[in-house]
Amino acid sequence: MTQDFRLPDLGEGLPEAELVQWLVAEGDTVSLNQNIAEVETAKAVVELPSPFAGTVQKLHHAAGDTIDVGDVIVTFAVAGEAGDAAAAPAAPAAQEAAPAAQEGAAEPEEEKATPNLVGYGAAPRKNARPQRRTRMARADGVASTTDTAVLEAAPHDAIVEQPLERPIERPRSTPPVRKLAKDLGVDLALVEATGSTGLITRADVEAYAARIQVTSGTAELNERGRDAASVPAAAGDERVTRRPIRSVRKATAEAMVRSAFTAPHVTTFQTVDVTATMELVASLKADRSLEGHRIGVMAVAAKAVCLALGRNPSLNAKWDDAAGEIVEHHYVNLGVAAATDRGLIVPVIPDADAMTLTELADAIGDLAAVARSGKTPPSAMTGGTFSITNFGVFGVEAGTPILNPGEAGILGLGTVAHRPWEHDGEIVLRDVMTLSLSFDHRLVDGAEGSRFLVDVARVLEQPGRAMLLR
């Protein structure tokens, strides 16, 4: 019998997802919870585990397609009676059916099946790696072009006709690099990884694209009998690159426009002598008992923000237009802006105000690592009450950050610079940083915003003052 697998709700009501790549092909036999595809939502890249054990009968979409939640993406041929598969989920209504579908799954006793995506699926076993279908090559070392098409684009009518003799591993790369290769028309199977890890990088793809562009351009000129040096620059569309507006970039743009045109933004600045904070950070880094904890200026600033929000609750509130209410939060879910290859995302640290400085530093480090990998789940980017962004890492002194929708404030940290500064009646070199606070003027008056910024500045000027605040 056959079973259709529909794209489930991947969290937070996201209506669609883009298919990054298939990890299986038509005719493959898959096991329950084997990862079959990678999809990219407006917030994260997610691997889809199979809700069935059986044979892939039909792939309904190709890499690059945008798929609506609830659309059929795979049809499986499965064994057993219809009643046996009745418990299998059919998204988006799969949220309630998922536990029942997993009862018959064979799992080690110490690892029980629990959903790892909203709507369906069992938790992957520890240390498990995504199961990818190997590509095949002929004995002469040339990969089958038909088989490559099956894996890269998953056409519905693809047939592997050539005799296959030995498997070769699928090129290893990250989703952003695979997307870049697709945009440039580069076959990753032909790209050589230059790094020691064997992972194909963005630089590898760009270098290969440049080589084939030069080669093809030279060949064309030779055919026409012209000297390459005499040819003018390419005209028309060849002089521009067009990329579809999708995923994180699309979601970020919509959120920023919505924020800019619904909340009246005001930005105020404060330049701070952070020499004492830098000395504290240096002493903590030298403390062997804190080895492994990367406590930096960002963590100290996050702690200062949490303390200042307790004294200035209007900055930790939201404007509920529908209810006609101002909602003040008695906790701090701190958003930390992270720049990634896919665009800007703002994962959230829940209950940051209850954390120690060390715990905050660890949480910030973990968020950054997951964000760089592109695996931040949608649920980790919701529920924020205030945000912080560090454009100082790019050497920028100050800016006017835009509010995360639904929040009353965002603090930007500028670069730390060694400058002449008045200290104890003398001009000396000190470590100086500029703070940029943007706030929603519907919720926060200028006086309240100024008091908040001064409170943060005082903690950074004299970290010992944090002992006096609550």
If DSSP states are collapsed to H, E and C, what string results for the chain?
A: CEEEEECCCCCCCCCEEEEEEECCCCCCEECCCCEEEEEECCCCEEEEECCCCEEEEEECCCCCCEEECCCEEEEEECCCCHHHHCCCCCCCHHHCCHHHHCCCCCCCCCCCCCCCECCECCCCCCCCCCCCCCEEECCCCCECHHHHHHHHCCCCCCCCCCCCCEEECCCCECHHHHHHHHHHCCCHHHCCCCCCCCCECHHHHHHHHHHHHHHHHHHHHHHHCCCHHHCCCCCHHHHCCCCCCCHHHHHHHHHHHHHHHHCCEEEEEEEEECHHHHHHHHHHHHCHHHCCCCCCHHHHHHHHHHHHHHHCHHHHEEEECCCCEEEECCCCCEEECEEECCEEECCEECCHHHCCHHHHHHHHHHHHHHHHHCCCCHHHHCCCCEEEEEHHHHCCCCCCCCCCCCCCEEEEECCCEEEEEEECCEEEEEEEEEEEEEEECCCCCHHHHHHHHHHHHHHHHCHHHHHHCC
218 and 256 fall within a common domain? no
The domain boundary, picked from 218, 237, 256, lies at 237
Pair 459, 443: CB distance under 8 Å: no
Q: How distant, in Å, are the alpha carbons of 53, 326, 327, 408 from that of 319? A: 48, 5, 7, 8
pLDDT value of residue 352? 95
The domain boundary, picked from 113, 133, 153, lies at 133
141: in domain: no
440 and 365 fall within a common domain? yes
458 and 329 fall within a common domain? yes
CA 33, distance to chain mean position in Å, is: 23
pLDDT value of residue 18? 83
283 and 415 fall within a common domain? yes
Question: Could you confirm whether 156 is annotated as catalytic?
Answer: no
Domain that holds residue 109: 2-133
pLDDT value of residue 338? 87
Label residue 442 exposed, middle or buried (CB < 10 Å: 0-12, 13-18, 19+): middle
CATH number of the domain residue 374 falls in: 3.30.559.10
56 and 204 fall within a common domain? no
192 and 338 fall within a common domain? no
Token code pair at residue 155: 């056409």
pLDDT value of residue 353? 94
209 and 310 fall within a common domain? no
In sequence order, what are the beta bridge partners of 58? 75
Which residue out of 156, 265, 423, 441 is catalytically annotated? 441
154: in domain: no
342 and 281 fall within a common domain? yes
202 and 261 fall within a common domain? no
pLDDT value of residue 416? 95
426: in domain: yes
Radius of gyration (C-alpha) of the chain in whole angstroms: 27
367 and 303 fall within a common domain? yes
182 and 211 fall within a common domain? yes
423: in domain: yes
Number of domains in the chain: 3
454 and 360 fall within a common domain? yes
CATH number of the domain residue 102 falls in: 2.40.50.100
pLDDT along the chain (470 residues), means of 10: 87 74 90 88 78 91 86 88 43 40 42 41 42 43 38 35 43 70 79 75 79 54 46 56 71 74 87 95 91 90 95 93 90 91 86 93 90 82 93 90 91 95 93 95 92 95 78
Amino acid, res. 11: G
